[in-house]
Structure 1
Amino acid sequence: MTAVSTPFVAPSTAGAQARLPLVTVRDLRVRYAPDAPLVLDGVDLDLHPGEMVALLGASGSGKSTLMKTLTGFAPISGGTARVGGFDLNNLRRGQLRELRSNVGQVFQQFNLIGRLSVLTNVLAGSLYGAGPLNLLGTFRSEDRKRALELLDRVGIAHKADQEARTLSGGQQQRVAIARALMQRPKLILADEPVASLDPKMSRTVLELLRSIAHQEGIPVLVSLHVLPLALAHSDRIVGLRHGELVVQGATSQLDAAQLAVVYDVDDEEEED
């Protein structure tokens, strides 16, 4: 594939093109070794600008592997996957870095550097596009301005100078979201972002992610375990069971009974 400097369709693109999927996955199959069982088996998925999609599945269903595949961290054994203008079946090393620079990631454990300030943690999100000053640990004034604006966007600008480790779990997750936005991502992947938060803060974080999807035109794929949260805070729901796609549809057309098949498993396996 020929390298493309700006392969992603901008979220602001007008008309029908804006509704073209940013992510297209067809008949995706993933196994980690030639003789190993399939972790994903025949998965289809589209992600469009401006939507929040909840990814449901029990432990071992393949949720984490699907997200890893979209950033080139899991091998594709069959089928196709495209993220923006990148063909994930045929990525060169330089393209892999560019792909990852366009994908913001939010994790369950926040992955902040606790002894550094909240502002510095957010600024770290700009390192994917680092110039010489950034690499030396000095950030441009425009980066600092943007980082403060993003902290205000997530509601914790007043914590900018505090060490990240002094914040509550919910506050740290909002810092992590601001850091992901600092990349100017075209796609956000949130892997169990509320698993360690209380119910109230879980709702706050998911509302924030959904508002980012809608207002910024960035597709957000968020993996969840709790059905009520998925039903309350997503536009579409995708359900995996033993690596296979068993549910996919608009959230408004699904209910808990229809989604029960996602968790109809005989045994619990270790999360992939």
Structure 2
Amino acid sequence: MTLVAGAHEVEPRVTTAELRQALPLVTVRGLEVAYDAQRVLAGVDLELFPGEMVALLGASGSGKSTLMRSLTGFAPITGGAVRVAGHDVTNLRRGQLRTLRSEVGQVFQQFNLIPRLSVLTNVLTGALHDGGPINLVGGFSSAHRRRALELLDRVGIAHKALEPARSLSGGQQQRVAIARALMQRPKVILADEPVASLDPKLADSVLELLREIASEDGIPVLVSLHVLPLALAHSDRIVGLRRGEILVSGRTSQLDASALAPLYEDEEPGDDEH
């Protein structure tokens, strides 16, 4: 069963109606994922349009991370169809998967920075995935360095460029990770629990930054979250999973905590990593 938000309209941003005039950059139809005999996702449909930020909600074990991984071919797709940035994920060979993954920026809970390297160098590593030429003898080009500094300025920490990543706070490190993802020139951004280790104020600022990037750059952002108020405050749409199926899907402006509560009714200890 799918609970879909009502039809009443609210004051528009540059949002859903206009965004949906464009073709979706991610289309998922009837997605099924199973590990051995264990079904993790069943009949999942999803679309991500340019410029929108979509919050993916669900209890531990609901399949959120598996859905994220299926979009880049890291989960075993056993049924349905998945298209991301023009790629048919279900039929890609290894080299084609590398191309797809270079076009998808990813932001993780644990930042995945190289602690001893400078903030600038960590951002520059994103250029290894953008498909452009890298000077393997002299290092990164001046154009790469200029772009990395511009991105650090955009995320508000250009003044930390030469400091080692390990010296930064958690919120600052996540901003570095976002700048690194942007260095790839991604067509889609996937953020898997990006604020789970941050305090509420920092979480708000990081999610606000991701939403600005989605809107200003026309990049769809899919962000998995556990905290309902954050999803309600920082997304254009919400998709909720329970037991591997979509239970809730609708515009954020037409949903509230009571509509989302059923997603967590049978939450159990553990997570949905496989």
TM-score by length of 2: 0.90
Offset, 1:270: 3.0
Pair 1:264–1:17, CA change in 2 (3 A): closer
* 1:74-117 deviations in Å (ceiling 9; x for gaps): 01100111112111111012210110000000000000000000
Offset, 1:186: 0.4
Superposed, 1:106-145 pairs within 5 Å as 106-128=107-129, 129=131, 131-133=133-135, 135-136=136-137, 138-145=139-146
Offset, 1:63: 0.5
**2:168 paired with 1:167:** yes
Pair 1:132–1:206, CA change in 2 (3 A): closer
* 1:162-216 deviations in Å (ceiling 9; x for gaps): 0000000000000000000000000000000000001000000000000000000
Name the residue aligned to 1:240.
Answer: 241
Offset, 1:19: 1.6
Offset, 1:136: 4.5
Q: Aligned to 2:31, which of 20, 25, 28?
A: 28
In structure 1, distance between residues paired with 2:20 and 2:272? 37
Q: Which amino acid aligns with 1:89?
A: T
- Give 3-state SS (helix, strand or coil) of 1:31's partner: strand
Count of residues paired in the alignment: 255
Name the residue aligned to 1:68.
Answer: 69
Offset, 1:137: 6.6
Name the residue aligned to 2:205.
Answer: 204
Q: Which amino acid aligns with 1:131?
A: P
* 1:104-139 deviations in Å (ceiling 9; x for gaps): 000000000000000000000000225351x44700
Q: Which amino acid aligns with 1:219?
A: P
- Give 3-state SS (helix, strand or coil) of 1:89's partner: helix
In structure 2, distance between residues paired with 1:232 and 1:266? 23
Offset, 1:149: 0.2
Pair 1:199–1:28, CA change in 2 (3 A): same
Q: Which runs of 5+ in 2 are unaligned?
A: 1-17
Offset, 1:16: 8.3
Q: Is the 8 A contact 1:18 1:49 kept in 2?
A: no
Q: Which amino acid aligns with 2:49?
A: H
Q: Which amino acid aligns with 1:30?
A: V
* Residue range with higher mean Cα deviation, 119-128 or 262-271: 262-271
Identity %: 73
Name the residue aligned to 2:100.
Answer: 99
Pair 1:238–1:137, CA change in 2 (3 A): farther
Name the residue aligned to 2:229.
Answer: 228
TM-score by length of 1: 0.91
Q: Which amino acid aligns with 1:107?
A: F
